[in-house]
Amino acid sequence: MRAGSLPAVVEPIKLADSGTRLTGQLPVKAMGRLRALCLDESDKVSIDLSFERSSDRTLGRMQGTIVASLQVVCQRCLEKMTLVLRAEPSVILIRAQDREDIIGRDTDSLVVDGPILLSNIVEDELLLAMPMVPMHDIDACLAGEYRHRQERPNPFSVLGQLKHRD
Ligand SMILES: [Zn+2]
User: Is 158 within 8 Å of 105 (Cβ atoms)?
Assistant: no
What pLDDT is attached to residue 1?
A: 43
Distance 157 CA to ligand 1 centre (A): 29
CA 153 to chain centre: 41
Largest CA distance in the chain: 89
Q: Is 66 helix (H, G, I), strand (E, B) or coil?
A: strand
Distance 47 CA to ligand 1 centre (A): 28
Distance 66 CA to ligand 1 centre (A): 25
Distance 28 CA to ligand 1 centre (A): 22
pTM over 0.85: no
What pLDDT is attached to residue 108?
A: 82
Q: What is the pLDDT along the chain (166 residues), one digit of tens a residue?
A: 444 579 999 999 999 999 999 999 999 999 999 999 999 988 999 999 999 997 766 689 999 999 999 999 999 999 999 999 999 999 989 888 877 776 666 678 888 888 999 999 999 999 999 998 999 998 889 886 666 555 656 655 655 566 655 5
Distance 89 CA to ligand 1 centre (A): 29
What pLDDT is attached to residue 155?
A: 58
Distance 81 CA to ligand 1 centre (A): 7
Distance 91 CA to ligand 1 centre (A): 34
Domain boundaries, the chain: 9-137
CA distance 79 to 14: 44
What pLDDT is attached to residue 2?
A: 46
Q: Is 37 helix (H, G, I), strand (E, B) or coil?
A: coil
- 94-110 burial, b at 16+ Cβ within 10 Å, e below that, comes to beeeeeeebeeeeeebb
What pLDDT is attached to residue 55?
A: 72
